[in-house]
């Protein structure tokens, strides 16, 4: 491990905005902050929104700056990436930003029913051929339902048509309320995108570009956006969709094939 990562890991320990639970604190047990993020971490009663797979935290930071009446928590397992967002939030004394270093598989151990107002998933691994690891799969939607408020919304922004089409198919086959959908965000005018988002959130959707987003845009890949409510009774069903066709068209699958 390089000295740069070691330095970042050491500095991470000093950031009050960064929570790094051990496996023992979240594996089959409830973390002490579960149900108490508002009172014990943010010390206010503002709504809480998650960004899953937040990377360096660009979206988490920007959304928090634009929407001071909302608390944001960026979740990722990579400590060296989280360091950047946590350091910025610390230096700028941003009271409505938190970061959580954990595997998203453990998310149900960290948040209580009704504790979270919404979720952003930005440029997640499409997990081609591995549905149970996909962040919009029935396995994960069931976890999110356990802590999202009624009417809670999933916002998915991705360069992967495979992930986009799968997520759209799962929303449709489970009769979930799709609020907005586009397969080419930057060629879709903001005022024509039917969405639940606030004006500032729409600005973030178009104006904030993560490291990976810039990389894929430079290669000519369009960016997609999908939002849907996950209110649903009973188990979520996997969709009957043309997986092979979208796998063949997805540049992520191509990268896997040539490696």
Using the CB atoms, write b or e for 71-99: b if 16+ within 10 Å: bbbbbbeebbbbbbbbbbbbeeebebbbb
Dig out the tokens for 107 from the structure: 């998310």
Whether 125 is catalytic is yes
Tally of CB atoms within 10 A around 221? 17
* Cα 124 to Cα 182: distance, rounded to the nearest angstrom: 17
* Cα 23 to Cα 29: distance, rounded to the nearest angstrom: 10
Q: Identify the CA nearest to 41 among candidates 115, 107, 114.
A: 115
Q: In 177-234, where does DSSP find H-type helix?
A: 199-207, 211-218
* Cα 199 to Cα 201: distance, rounded to the nearest angstrom: 6
For residue 199, report the phi and psi dihedrals to the nearest 5 degrees.
-60, -40
Q: In 92-124, where does DSSP find H-type helix?
A: none
Bridge partners for 37 per DSSP: none
Catalytic residue selected from 30, 125, 177, 231: 125
* Cα 253 to Cα 231: distance, rounded to the nearest angstrom: 31
Active-site residues: which are they?
125
């Amino acid at each position: 491990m390089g000295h740069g990562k070691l330095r970042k890991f050491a500095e991470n320990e000093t950031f009050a905005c960064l929570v790094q639970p051990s496996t023992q604190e979240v594996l089959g047990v409830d973390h002490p902050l579960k149900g108490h993020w508002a009172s014990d971490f943010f010390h206010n009663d503002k709504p809480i929104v998650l960004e899953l797979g937040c990377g360096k935290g660009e979206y988490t930071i920007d959304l928090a700056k634009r929407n001071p009446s909302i608390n944001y928590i960026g979740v990722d397992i990579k400590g060296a990436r989280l360091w950047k967002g946590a350091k910025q939030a610390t230096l700028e004394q941003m009271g409505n930003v938190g970061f959580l270093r954990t595997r998203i598989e453990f998310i149900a151990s960290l948040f209580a029913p009704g504790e979270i107002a919404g979720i952003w998933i930005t440029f997640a691994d499409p997990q081609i051929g591995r549905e149970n690891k996909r962040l919009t799969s029935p396995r994960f939607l069931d976890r999110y339902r356990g802590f999202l408020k009624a009417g809670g919304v999933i916002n998915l922004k991705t360069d992967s048509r495979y992930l986009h089409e799968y997520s759209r198919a799962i929303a449709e086959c489970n009769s979930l309320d799709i609020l907005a959908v586009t397969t080419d965000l930057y060629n879709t005018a903001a005022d024509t995108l039917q969405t639940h988002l606030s004006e500032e959130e729409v600005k973030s959707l178009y104006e904030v570009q993560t490291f990976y987003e810039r990389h894929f845009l430079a290669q000519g890949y369009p960016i997609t956006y999908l939002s849907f409510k996950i209110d649903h009774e009973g188990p979520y069903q996997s969709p009957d969709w043309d997986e092979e066709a979208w796998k063949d068209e997805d540049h992520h699958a191509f990268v896997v094939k040539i490696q």
